[in-house]
Structure 1
Amino acid sequence: MTHGPDSDILIAGGGLSGLPLALACAQGGLSVTVVDALDPATATDAKFDGRVSAIALASCRMLEQLGVTQHLEGQMQPINDIMVTDGRVREGASPFFLHFDHREIGNEPLGNLIENRHIRIALQKAVAAEPLIRLLAPQSVTRLDYGAQAVATLGNGETVSARLCFAADGRNSPAREAAGIKTIGWDYGQTGIVSTVEHELPHEGVAQEYFLPGGPFAILPMVGNRSSLVWTEKTEDAKAILALDDAAFADEMRARFGDYLGACAPVGPRWSYPLTLQLARDYIRPRLALIGDAAHGIHPIAGQGLNLGLRDVAAAAEVVVDAARLGLDIGALDVLERYQRWRRFDNVALSLLMDGLNRLFSNDIGPVRLARDLGLGVVSRIGPARRFFMRHAGGVVGDLPRLLRGEAV
């Protein structure tokens, strides 16, 4: 006799995409089991992940609707302006720049910068308050089988069944690999160095993207007189920089940071992340769908990686909740095909755009430098162009799922 599934939805991976998806599906009345290999206490430890994420306006509306932002009080730094410049180390910035001012498109900020650790804490609190969600962590998925149901065998020998499995288990997704879904991509030969910087003067919510020959040098405002440094260098140069003692590292940082925020110094640990592009060839199989980093991993040049994952979440939740309300099989390929059509083009297009921007700006070729500097200056002077880019960065254009409009799923 075939027994009914333990849950409507099984999510492999309880990170920054998996937990929002669980909340979204539960809001739509579906029961969810989340299995994550990482201990929740480890995921929220200050030493685990030093990154901050730029949460776009539409993504902020979604997190508000899911009941997450109520747990982020005092941890959200509004992005009021973005300054984009080009230059060389110790020579200063080009006179041409691109300035995005949030007041041009409304009263709301362009988004919010939030430490990943605090996003995870808020998500865990929201999930704990949702009776339709069962979180199993730390626990591994050792096997996934698909038939009339998706069945996960766990590391403790337990099995969990569901009508549909979502793979939200990262770039090296075991669920994707087990399903035989191939990826394409490449290594940029770059490494992102992440550190927190304390500075004398207030940042006024201004994010800086300073393009240098080795890669972008981003200064992202945090709560208080602090900024997150996302410093991209060629991998060999990054290794040498990371090997410096604290004083020498601070000197190299200041040579790029400048003095516009007064005296400044890096504080706390340094983290490093290899930069690659990775795109899944398919997002779906019967009873399986990929979201977030399991489906796509992009260059962080414009801070859009997590926002792409949250757009996946909003679209996937809407597709399966609508199908369930119609009495359809939510794990059927024809249902999941709607999700794939909705998200794949946007993800691929933005991934390749970020790839092109990184290649355009991460070099020191004279004619290319001149062309890109002039391009920044021209776009900065054309109001409609500026506003177009700001709305796209805020994620408020296109065929938006209900959650990204701030509506219930």
Structure 2
Amino acid sequence: MSDETAGNPANMPAGPSVLHPKPSSKSDGVKTKPGSKRRPVDPLKPKQPLSAYVFYSKDAFKQLKGKGTDHQSRVKFLSDGWAALPKEERQKYEEMAEVESERYKREMAAYRQKHLQKTKEPRLSGKTQEAQVPAAEKKIIKSVPMATSRDESGELWSFPAFSAEFLENNRKLEEQHRVLKEKIVLVKEESGQLEAEVRRLNGAVSLLDGETKEREALTAACEAYSKAIKNLIVSEFSSLVIPASGGLPAIQPKADNVMVYCKRLREAFKNGVCPPNFHSYRELFRQTNWEIFFPGVVGRRMVRQFSSASNHYDVVICGGGMVGLAAALAFARDPTTRAQRVVVIEQGKPPKTDPVPNEAPYGLRSVALNPSTVRFLERNGAWEHVHRWGTIRSLQVWESVIADSRITFESDEIARVVENDELIRVMKIALKDGDVEFRYGANLKAVELPRDSSSVAKLTLEGDEITASLVVGADGAKSLVRKAMPNSARSLTWEYDQQAVVANVNFSLDCVENEIGWQRFLKTGPIAYLPLTTSMSNLIWSTTRNHAKDLMKLSDEDFLLAVNDAFVSANDDAMSPLVDSVMKFARQVSVTNPPSVAQLPPRAVSVSKRASFPIAAAHAVNYVAPRGVLIGDAAHRVHPMAGMGVNLGFGDVDCLHRVVGDALGLGGDIGTTASLYPYESERQRKNLTKMLGIDALYRLYRAQFLPIALARGIGLTLTDSLVPVKSWIMDQASRY
């Protein structure tokens, strides 16, 4: 056995370091065979110093991470990089190598002094070496196997050798230590998460504590306020005794019956049996929030009627005509809007609400209400009060240029013809039970709308001033509300250069069923009959202004002659043979659904007084502004063709009260443009469509150029034979 392996046990592993085991090394756990020349490595010996190339390789390896290169490619990459490395960068690694070399020399000197026992003889046998070891250390040397190794100078040194079992246990302990360290990291992470969750929960608890304290304070304030009002009622209303009624005794407010007293007072007001001195408490009612104790419509009506000295209203409706009263009726009847304080301002006198006798003269202005408008009036309790009206079940439309060019519409009910005054009367009756105030004879001087919704609208009346959250402009074509809007200049108006002449005419014979509406397009404009009774119809004759003046000057006999002639006279121009042939061909094409039989209205024999008014069309580019909204003629005007234009105004009302109800349901402000924009979007889309259709129809029939008239006649004849097309037209006309 050589000197280098003297004293080395057979089971001593070759190479592994006790302090830095390498599980992946091939030499771990390998026993040195007898006679092997492999020198055992001292595990306590300092590590060899790293060269400049090794330091460079460590830095260069970082660039190869994740690239999946093989060993040969990595070696080539490192060698080529080291060869091409500039001198300045190479100097850095050489300085690192010098520092490492100095470290190795220091540690090696300490290692020799502390762990190695230097032998004086170049070669020693195991017995001789053991004899020279001090007696105190023999026990340790016997328990720990020793190995020898030579240093660079050739001197022989001895050191302890560890078995494979010891090293295996050491590896297991280090593995356990690594697992414990990983668990400690996980526990720290979980602990951090738990601490964050605890902090979040503490914040939530603090927030809940704050909200709980706020609610408790609010509850205490409400209880104190309720107690104060109860005390006020007991002390100030002690003389307001509710009389006995319905088997219940008289009652006056006491500390233990305040709620019962308020309920009895509400019922007394509802049934009209309030005590005589009830009105003397008006000022005290104004100072007390009685709505806490008087819920519902009746309670609000009582509070507002007797206590409201404030001039602020939720909704102010400017204009008490048909559309204005319809708006008030919709707000008063709808459950979502009836709680609003609404006032109607009208310059004229209040309408009469007494039923009109059948023999009373009919008004000159009548309207044709389509089914949608009729349903609106029925739904809001107004139609049941209508005393007299006419029904249109058939509508005959023809012209004066092309013979037999006509179209007939038939239905169970196309429209109902009602006088304007009758419609206003029945809506006023329906509003008697509503929570709406009226100011008739009020002269509205000015309307001020704010630039944004942060303030309220102001309305100046003669001798008074009121404010409103929402101003509804239903004041007609010369609307003050529209002029007060910031965009009032953005309104489109166009004149037809026409005048309408209206009157009521009686026919020669009492018609069995006067249920046909007649309309003929003349060169000067359309003339129409709207049935009122079996022997009377309302006449609407749209013509040029000069012709209208001439008609107004005529005597009744001459006027009747002109009217009869306008309906039954021959065509204005004799048709050429070519035009006659084309129209015959059009009638033959429509043989599958032959056009309706031509009918003429009965002859008029008497006429009422006449009236005249100008015809124009207008449309506001914007219907809404902060605190303001337009409906009816204030927003749009159309040609009074067959008296159907008022239905657009009722459509505005139906949409507006629905939009305001939605805003109230969401707790919003009813006067903001954001709340009112859905109304403008929906109604402008529908109104413009119908306005353009009526205007296009008017201009089409005003054209007298023969090719246009011929095309118009053919189209009208073919349309009359197409049932689906006529049904679609009727469906559109029945809506607002």
Fold-level similarity (TM above 0.5): yes
Deviations along 1:94-118, whole A, 9 cap, x unmatched?
3121111104xxxxx1221111111
Which residue number in structure 2 is paired with residue 99 of structure 1? 408
> Which is higher, the Rg of structure 1 or of structure 2?
2
> 1: distance between equivalents of 2:361 and 2:447?
32
2:458 corresponds to which residue? 151
Residues 86-144 of structure 1: per-residue CA shift (max 9 Å, x gap): 115xxxx83121111104xxxxx1221111111111122122332x1101111122122
Residue 438 (structure 2) aligns with? 135
Asked whether the 8 Å contact 2:447–2:458 carries over to 1, the reply is yes
Q: 2:619 and 2:694 mapped to 1: Cα distance?
A: 13
Find the residue that maps to 1:40 and give its secondary structure.
coil
Distance 1:121 1:56 in 2: 19
Q: Which amino acid aligns with 1:172?
A: K
1:244–1:120 Cα change, 3 Å: same
Moved more, 12-21 or 27-36: 27-36
Task: Provide the C-alpha distance between the structure 2 equivalents of 1:165 and 1:47, rounded to a whole number of angstroms.
Answer: 36
1:303-353 C-alpha deviation (Å, 9 max, x unpaired):
331000000000001000121122110001100111100111211221121
Matched, 1:251 2:591: no
Residue of structure 2 equivalent to 1:349: 689
Higher relative contact order (CA 8 A, sep 6+): 1
Moved more, 179-188 or 206-215: 179-188
> Which of residues 385, 391, 395 in structure 2 aligns to 1:82?
395
CA distances 1:265-304 after superposition (whole Å, capped 9, x unpaired): 2422111111111111211110000000000001112433
Match of 2:676 in 1: 336
TM-score, L = length of structure 1? 0.88
Structure 1 residue 7, shift from structure 2 partner: 2.4
Q: Which has the larger share of strand?
A: 1
| 1:78 CA displacement | 1.7
Q: Cα–Cα, structure 1 residues 49 and 348, in superposed 2: closer, same or farther, change >3 Å? A: farther
State the Cα distance separating 1:43 from its structure 2 match.
12
Question: Equivalents in 1 of 2:410, 2:442: separation in Å?
Answer: 45
Aligned partners of 2:449 and 2:456 also within 8 Å: yes
Give the match for residue 198 of structure 1: 506
Q: Percent identity?
A: 30
Is 1:377 aligned with 2:707? no
- Aligned residue for 2:431, secondary structure, equals helix
CA distance in 2, matches of 1:21, 1:357: 30
Superimposed CA distance per residue, residues 3-51 of structure 1 (whole angstroms, 9 cap, x where no aligned partner): 9773221001111110000010112213310001111349999999611
| 8 Å CA contact 1:13, 1:34 repeated in 2 | yes
**2:127 is matched with which residue?**
none
SS in 1 for 2:669: coil
Cα offset, 1:239, TM superposition: 1.1
Shift in alpha-carbon separation, 1:334–1:262, aligned structure 2, 3 A: closer
- For residues 5 and 285 of structure 1, the distance between their equivalents in structure 2, rounded to whole angstroms, comes to 22
Which residue identity lines up with residue 53 of structure 1 in the other structure?
A: V
8 Å CA contact retained: 2:382, 2:427: yes
Instruction: Report the Cα distance in structure 2 between the residues aligned to 1:25 and 1:299, rounded to whole angstroms.
Output: 29
Q: CA offsets, 1:50-79, max 9 Å, x none?
A: 111010001100011111111103x12121
Indicate which of 523, 527, 536 corresponds to 1:226. Answer: 536
Once the two structures are superposed, what CA deviation does each residue of 1:216-272 show, in whole Å capped at 9, x if it has no partner? 111111123101111111111111121112221111111123494544224221111
Query: Does the 8 A contact of 1:53 with 1:115 survive in 2?
Result: yes
CA contact (8 A) 2:393 2:516 kept: yes
Of residues 343, 367, 379, the one that matches 1:65 is: 379
Name the CA distance, whole Å, in 2 between partners of 1:136 and 1:267. Answer: 36
In the alignment, the residues of structure 2 paired with residue 43 and residue 223 of structure 1 have an alpha-carbon distance, to the nearest angstrom, of 22
Secondary structure at 2:561 match in 1: helix
Distance 1:42 1:72, change over 3 A: closer
- Matching of residues 303-318 of structure 1 within 5 Å: 303-318=643-658
Partner of residue 370 from structure 2, selected from 56, 79, 82: 56
Q: 1:192, 1:371 → 2: CA distance?
A: 28
Determine the C-alpha separation between the residues in 1 that align with 2:366 and 2:313: 33
Q: Is the 8 A contact 2:449 2:484 kept in 1?
A: no
Which of 313, 330, 340 lines up with 1:24 in the alignment?
Answer: 330
Which residue number corresponds to residue 112 of structure 1? 416
The two structures, once aligned, show a CA RMSD in angstroms of 2.3
The yes-or-no answer on 1:395 pairing with 2:725 is no
Which of 346, 357, 370 is the matching residue for 1:36? 346
- Alignment match, 1:402: none
- The residue type equivalent to 2:640 in the other structure is P
* Structure with the bigger percentage of helix: 2
Letter paired with 2:478: N
Q: 1:399 corresponds to which residue? A: none
What pairs with 1:165-244 in structure 2 (closer than 5 Å)? 165-180=471-486, 181-182=488-489, 183-199=491-507, 200-202=509-511, 203-244=513-554
SS in structure 2 of the partner of residue 83 of structure 1: strand
Contact 1:195–1:266 (CA under 8 A) maintained in structure 2? no
Distance (whole Å) between structure 2 residues aligned to residue 56 and residue 327 of structure 1 = 34
Work out the CA distance in 1 between the residues paired with 2:323 and 2:704.
Answer: 36
Q: Which runs of 5+ in 1 are unaligned?
A: 104-108, 397-409
Quote the offset at 1:178 in angstroms.
Answer: 2.3
Alignment of 1:279-318 (within 5 A): 279-318=619-658
Q: Kindly provide the amino acid, as one letter, of the partner of residue 102 in structure 1.
A: S
Instruction: Tell me how far apart the structure 1 counterparts of residues 448 and 612 of structure 2 sit (CA, whole Å).
Output: 36
* Alignment match of 1:126 (pick from 416, 430, 440): 430
- In structure 2, C-alpha distance between the alignment counterparts of 1:266 and 1:42, rounded to whole Å: 28
For 1:184 and 1:57, how far apart are their aligned partners in 2?
Answer: 29
For 2:667, what is the secondary structure of its paired residue?
A: coil
Partner Cα separation in structure 1 for residue 353 and residue 710 of structure 2: 44
